[in-house]
Chain A
Amino acid sequence: KAGVTQTPRYLIKTRGQQVTLSCSPISGHRSVSWYQQTPGQGLQFLFEYFSETQRNKGNFPGRFSGRQFSNSRSEMNVSTLELGDSALYLCASSLGDTGDYGYTFGSGTRLTVV
């Protein structure tokens, strides 16, 4: 079966712009989580959605937002981009809302802010 699909794979944006990233989970998975990965900070939790509801949110500024659609696809938006937002953004899908079945990651979107 198809894995977790993230688009686009690479993005280059200018400071001050906004960006939208997309994540399509494994078919049947209802939970989608987003993470930011940087060399200095590692993998940091952004937010988690389950059945279109944001369940949890990490310690990121309000410029980072997301949503989940009825088909479980999720989008993440970052407004007013800063240089420090350059990172690999990963999404992960899970069958349930507690992760008991493990989280499957997509290949990520590499965002570069110049």
Chain B
Amino acid sequence: GQNIDQPTEMTATEGAIVQINCTYQTSGFNGLFWYQQHAGEAPTFLSYNVLDGLEEKGRFSSFLSRSKGYSYLLLKELQMKDSASYLCAVRDWRQLTFGSGTQLTVLP
């Protein structure tokens, strides 16, 4: 099975940078995804990492270390609309398993 841990809640200020960590334990690792989910809406795809290193996409970056079972999502220049739940999900040979999500609140 899989075990995915991420902080339950985080708070940051508009314009700041925030890093959301995700640790996982799995067999047959086949990729790590980050999704954003606003309340009452569907999760939307942010990033995908399958090899070690940093993937950058505009204000969002995601990092993966397979040997450490560790990933983070970095959000820069925070905006109020970034207030949402951020879900880390790991794919093994069998399925995509989600963490419980990190609720990010961006304050003015």
Contacts and interface: CB of A to CB of B under 8 A. Distances in A.
B31 A99 contact: yes
Interface residues of A, number: 21
Given A43-B87, A45-B97, A100-B31, A107 B42 contact: yes
Interface residues of B, number: 22
B84 interface: no
B28 to A, nearest CB: 11
B33 A43 contact: no
A70 interface: no
B50 A45 contact: no
B45 A33 contact: no
B44 interface: yes
A43 B98 contact: yes
A45 B87 contact: no
Given A99-B31, A99-B91, A45 B96 contact: yes
Nearest to B94: A56
